[in-house]
Amino acid sequence: FTVFLIALQLILITEGAMVNSQPRRVFVSGAGGQTGQHVFRKLLALPDEFEPFGIVRSESSKTSLVESGVPGSSVVVCDITDAEACISAMKGCDAAVICTSAKPSPTGEMNEETGRPVFGFPNGQPEQVDWIGQKNQIDAAKLQGTTKCHVIICSSMGGTNPNHPLNNLGKVTLPDGSSQGGNILKWKRKAESYLMESGLPFTIVHPGGLVNEPGGKRELALGVDDKIEGTDNNVVPREDVAEVMVQALRNDSYRGRSFDLVSKNEGEEIGR
């Protein structure tokens, strides 16, 4: 694993990355979101290597991207919970970068016991987005050829803890004492397992807390099973996560890898 970490650091600062003779068609879901949009724009900036298609949930998301200067022909509206729509959008692609995720937001209610805001998932529960939606994308990738389509998932740290607080977001207790909804990390891990068993080339990135700060300012640190040595920091800039995912497309050494990713504190001594 140490060798892989050293290789990752070298890859991120080296221009001699793998280049194909023809641009590879890349399906990028969640391209209207924050991390996914970073990935999409980075790929658009490498036209000799990639022909990316940004997958968005709505026409309004597509309009926003087009108005920002993205070619309309490079943006596709697709409901990832619709298997046939995913198959259509994925047709002819050489790789898929999955950045879709259920997004929690306050419902306006307060939890009487904790005094904290209650969160829900207005645009789809984790079971539908992080499991069914990702499964649909993986199945569509399989139709492109199990040895051909490299699938990269942006997942999340915390999945080794079934009682992680993120799993409680959007969860509702029913009158019989059972619960429904929520469990976002559990559904993400189910999709990861499905991908690893699919036979497809894969890379799974588990970032720590995502922050909207410039990339390229901090040393990155890797680990597995929610354990990372060398830093007490547990966050990482979205732009750095996107860069790692782009490099995973450019370098075969990332294939078959699943790892956690955070950054050291800005200014923290390199190699410490």
The set of catalytic residues is 156
Question: Which residues, in sequence order, are CB contacts of 214 under 8 Å at separation 6+?
Answer: 237, 239
The first and second tokens of residue 199, run together, are: 């036979």
CA dihedral 176, 179, 180, 183 (to 10 degrees): -170
